Amino acid sequence: MAKILLTGGTGLIGTHLQKLFHQNDHEVVILTRSPKNDNHFKWDIHKKFIDEKAFIGVDYIIHLAGAGIADSRWTAIRKKELIDSRVLSADLLYAYVKKLNIKLKGFISASGIGFYGAINSDHIFTEKDPPENDFISEICVKWEDAANQFKQLDIPVTCLRTGVVLSAKGGALEKMNTPLFLSALGTGKQYVPWIHINDLCELYLKAIEDTDFKGIYNGVAPEHQTNLDFTKKLGKTLKKPVMPFNVPEFMLKIILGELAVIILKGSRISSQKTTNKYKFEFSNLDEALLNIYNKKEVV
């Protein structure tokens, strides 16, 4: 049994993780701005404060906290928030772990496939590829740099570069299940690397239970799907018609601004390194969608 300190614990992934960890006899404590339960502890990034009781007996920290990439337009203020919410929070955790001399067994951080940039490419990106030179990549590079500073304390670090997370409640599918998004976006040829939320949570569990599961891993299913193919499969599963036209790129840029790039661009991401360590429960999109809409996922 391990004791895990979780940031972002009340979000989509964090909520699922709590239940999975409890099912596997791990103890979880949550850092939150508004503690409501006995296992909740207050932190305030801007005031550089964490309730030190949160660290008592902790073996691992899982860092999921961060403002939603696609929640609002990328103004200059929003861009700063997207980076600061990830980096300053990790910096604060590092400062407390160092000050309190916490002997963690591991620091596990979310990251994103945005590391490779919002681009369309014939290349299949692996963990060995360098970052792209754009804003979404900048977020992920700084995110991972903040996590990797824990290595200075001889603490193993794992980063999961996550694709589009599929879940019945919240997340991308709720947004995609709308008339606008039940259409091909732009050319429809851009790839949509995805992962079922059950598989993603199992990867975090593996990072706790497998001492060899350290370093950078792409958190995406092995199957590659274009936006058009993904949309057709989603429509078929939902028994809803897919619009017989593509949403023009210019329209999405008007609606979403610079943010539109993350849905208009996308390349294939390799899961080979991950599949060498983990057998995906959902490697096929049809099966993943049927599972989700039959409400068999962990909730």
Total count of domains within the chain: 1
Q: Is residue 191 part of a domain?
A: yes
When mean pLDDT is compared across 160-169, 176-185, 206-215, 270-279, the lowest value belongs to: 176-185
Residue 298 lies in a domain: no
Degrees, nearest 5: CA angle 167-20-34: 80
199 CB-near residues (< 8 Å, 6+ apart): 221, 278, 280, 281, 282
> Per-residue pLDDT tens for 195-225?
999 999 999 999 999 999 999 999 999 999 9
Mean pLDDT, range 134-162, rounded to an integer: 98
**CATH number of 70's domain:** 3.40.50.720
Q: Is the pLDDT of residue 168 over 60?
A: yes
What share of the chain has pLDDT > 90, as a percent? 85
> Do residues 192 and 96 make contact, with C-beta atoms less than 8 angstroms apart?
no
Residue 111 lies in a domain: yes
H helices of 48-170, where?
76-100, 135-148
Q: What pLDDT is attached to residue 37?
A: 87
The pLDDT confidence band at residue 179, using thresholds 50, 70 and 90, is low
Instruction: Give the CA-trace dihedral at 236, 240, 246, 251, to 10 degrees.
Output: -130
Asked if residue 243 lies in contact with residue 255, where contact means CB atoms within 8 angstroms, the answer is no
CB 240 within 8 A of CB 292: no
pLDDT digits (tens, 9 = 90+) for 22-80: 999 999 999 999 988 889 999 999 999 999 999 999 999 999 999 999 999 999 999 99
Q: Residue 101 gets which letter from DSSP? A: T
Q: What are the pLDDT digits (tens) for 218-245?
A: 999 999 999 999 999 999 998 888 887 8
pLDDT of residue 128: 98
Separation of alpha carbons 107 and 94, rounded Å: 10
How far apart, in whole angstroms, are the C-alpha atoms of residue 121 and residue 53? 48
The whole-number pLDDT of residue 36 equals 87
Q: Are the CB atoms for 28 and 208 separated by under 8 Å?
A: no
CB atoms within 10 A of CB 283: 16
Q: What does the pLDDT read at residue 170?
A: 78
Q: Is residue 299 part of a domain?
A: no
Q: Which two structure tokens, joined as six digits, stand for 299?
A: 């909730």
Residue 180's pLDDT is what? 60
In a domain, 67, yes or no: yes
Inside any domain, residue 285: yes
| pLDDT, mean over the chain | 94
Say what the pLDDT of residue 133 is.
94
Q: How confident is the model at residue 150 (pLDDT cuts 50, 70, 90)?
A: very high
Structural domain boundaries enclosing 275: 3-293
158-179: b (≥16 Cβ within 10 Å) or e: bbbbbbbbbbbeebbbeebbee
Pick the range with the lowest mean pLDDT from 167-176, 195-204, 254-263.
Answer: 167-176
299 pLDDT above the threshold of 50 = no
Residue 281, pLDDT > 60, answer: yes
**Least confidently predicted of 146-150, 165-169, 282-286:** 165-169
Q: Is the pLDDT of residue 114 over 80?
A: yes
pLDDT at 241: 85
Residue 153 lies in a domain: yes
